[in-house]
Amino acid sequence: MRATTALFTNELRLLGRTPAVVIWTVIIPLTALVVMCAIPAARQPQAPFGGVSVVEAYQPVLVVFAMTLLALQVMPMTLGQYRELGFLRRLRTTPASPRQLLTAVLLLAFAVTIAVGVLMGVYPLFFGLGSATRLAWLVAALVPCSAAFLAVGAMLAAVIPNSRVASGVGAALAAVMWFSAGMWFPRAQFPDWLARIADWTPGGAAATALSQALLGGPFSWQPLVCLLVWTAGCFVVALCTFRWE
């Protein structure tokens, strides 16, 4: 426990020393939301977005953006580098195991993605958007979203030995997730067949889960089931194939 805590603290400190990661995964998504909230027209309901405002339509997308950058690009890169440096191997020579480092890396990524998600839920409240009572729902939705993205990221780190390739594939997957979440094209405008596919990607399911948490309305289990399946499937693959050296 003491070792895991020390490893977690260390990862947190190292993350703080990597400004690029902090800027992309925390500052840019938050800034984008802040700017949107400041534009009055973006706060009005719009027909093309299925009767919600631009802010409400993009809030889940930005959460997905922040989460996927950290879980699909940064995390596989970090794990791959630790393997390439021989740091995982070095840990094997100590009473701490490389599993504890893996746990620390995943926990940190989990904590940061949840924190960013919560901040993004809280901020629009200052503009009279959303409702504070939905925050508990938001947290409940953020947990399976983050878990699913981290599982996909862990699988990438496991099956692709080269850290830069893993991170590159992660970037491509992240773009797919952003599309399914409706970044370039509102989800309300997706044709049926595309909507059905997007619903079963982690990105699409995450966006739906987050929307229904933030906006209320009819509740569906489908996105949660989808996220759970991705989480379980990818973690199993990751555990079976991860190489320490």
Partner 1 sequence: MALISVSGLRKSYGPREILHGIDLRVEEGQIVGIVGPNGAGKTTTVECIGGLRRRDGGTVDVAGIDPADGDPALRRILGMQLQQCRLPAKITAAEALDLFGAFYPQPRPTGELLERFGLTAQRDRRFEQLSGGQQQRLSVALALIGRPRIAILDELTTGLDPAARRDIWTYLDRLTAEGTTILLVTHSMEEAQHLCDRVTIIDDGRVVAEGTPDALAQQGGDQLTSFVPDPTVPLDLLRDLPGVRTVTEEQGRVQVHGDAASPQTVLTTLIAHGITAGQLRVTGPSLDDAYLRATDPTPGSPTREARR
Q: List contacts with partner 1 (CB under 8 A).
A: 2-3, 5-7, 10, 13-14, 17-18, 81-82, 85-87, 89-90, 92-96
Beta-carbon contacts of 180 under 8 Å, excluding residues fewer than 6 positions away, are: 197, 198, 201, 203, 204, 207
Cβ nearer to partner 1, comparing 60 with 80: 80
- Dig out the tokens for 215 from the structure: 């906006």
**Least Å distance between CB 97 and partner 1?**
9
Cβ nearer to partner 1, comparing 55 with 102: 102
Cβ nearer to partner 1, comparing 18 with 222: 18
**Least Å distance between CB 166 and partner 1?**
17
Asked if residue 5 lies in contact with residue 103, where contact means CB atoms within 8 angstroms, the answer is no
- Dig out the tokens for 242 from the structure: 């991860």
Cβ nearer to partner 1, comparing 86 with 216: 86
3-state class of 244 per DSSP? coil
Asked if residue 30 lies in contact with residue 112, where contact means CB atoms within 8 angstroms, the answer is no
Cβ nearer to partner 1, comparing 88 with 173: 88
DSSP state of 23: I
**Least Å distance between CB 53 and partner 1?**
41
**Least Å distance between CB 93 and partner 1?**
4
Cβ nearer to partner 1, comparing 59 with 100: 100
Backbone angles phi, psi at 181, to 5 degrees: -80, -10
**Least Å distance between CB 107 and partner 1?**
16
**Least Å distance between CB 222 and partner 1?**
40
- Dig out the tokens for 187 from the structure: 């989800």
3-state class of 130 per DSSP? coil
CA distances from 129 to 37, 65, 136, 191 (A): 9, 21, 16, 28
